[in-house]
Amino acid sequence: MELPVEEIGRAARGWTVQGEDLRAAADQLGAAASTGFTAPVAGAADRFTEAWRRHTADLAAGAEARGGALRVALGAVLYADAEAAGASDRVADRLADRWEHRR
């Protein structure tokens, strides 16, 4: 099975960048001030921006987790592939040695 390593790497980076962008948006929402609103509206504005900050931070965490999971999975597949190739080479070497001893 051939794995599109570069494509998976790009996808992992894309998720990580999206997470960073969302985290920056959450920080901006957290810094948003309700000054300028009347008292009754300021409370609602604060609750609104806090709800969106939490939601955006959750989205950021999810995106960053997906990027990290893709990198971990890719690393595991590449490691397993290298181990399988090494084992295959060792078997081939042993078979070649046995073949030579039979001649």
Tally the domains of the chain. 1
Q: Tell whether pTM > 0.85.
A: no
Helix (H, G, I), strand (E, B) or coil at 53: helix
Of all helices (H) and strands (E), which one includes residue 91? Answer: helix 39-102
Domain that holds residue 28: 5-102
**Tens of each residue's pLDDT in the chain, 103 residues:** 677 889 999 999 999 999 999 999 999 999 999 889 998 899 999 999 999 999 999 999 999 999 999 999 999 988 888 888 888 888 887 888 878 777 6
Q: How far apart are CA 97 and CA 47, in angstroms?
A: 75
Distance, in Å, from the CA atom of 90 to the CA atom of 23, rounded to the nearest integer, reads 48
Token couple for 95: 């078979």
Tell me how far apart the terminal alpha carbons of the chain are, to the nearest angstrom.
36
Which region, left, alpha or beta, applies to residue 65 given φ > 0 means left and ψ of -120 to 50 means alpha? alpha
Q: 26, exposed or middle or buried, with CB in 10 Å at 0-12, 13-18, 19+? A: buried
